[in-house]
Amino acid sequence: AQKVTQAQTEISVVEKEDVTLDCVYETRDTTYYLFWYKQPPSGELVFLIRRNSFDEQNEISGRYSWNFQKSTSSFNFTITASQVVDSAVYFCALSGWDDKIIFGKGTRLHILP
């Protein structure tokens, strides 16, 4: 069975601090995709990144970076120099051989001014 665990339910940091959101996944598929989505207070779900299981290269996009490690089944997300606008719920998700995406429970991130 596929599973995504986001152990951090809620995190608060002061603006400009770096913060890492943890994601651990379980799957028996050899080919799979990992995702991060952002849900700001307005409620929409915004796609941030997709990673396939054959690409373990870390990725950086501005202040966002993602660390994918198959050895530990983790796909962690770091925000550098956090800003108040980063306050949101962040979901890690996993998709296997079919189209279904399994979402974690989410981490609520508060960036304090």
In the region spanning residues 47 to 66, those forming contacts with another protein, defined by CB under 8 A, are: 47, 50, 52
Q: How far apart are CA 78 and CA 55, in angstroms?
A: 18
30 lies in the site for another protein, by CB under 8 A = no
45 lies in the site for another protein, by CB under 8 A = yes
7 alpha carbon, distance to own chain's centre = 12
Q: How far apart are CA 92 and CA 83, in angstroms?
A: 20
| Choices 7-15, 16-24, 56-64, 96-104; region in contact with another protein by CB under 8 A | 96-104
Residues near another protein (CB under 8 A), total: 19
113 lies in the site for another protein, by CB under 8 A = no
Beta carbon of residue 17, minimum distance to another protein (angstroms, whole number):
27
Beta partners for residue 51, in sequence order: 34
2 alpha carbon, distance to own chain's centre = 16
Instruction: Label residue 101 exposed, middle or buried (CB < 10 Å: 0-12, 13-18, 19+).
Output: middle
Q: Where along the sequence are the contacts to another protein (CB under 8 A)?
A: 33, 35, 37, 43-47, 50, 52, 91, 95, 98-101, 103, 105-106
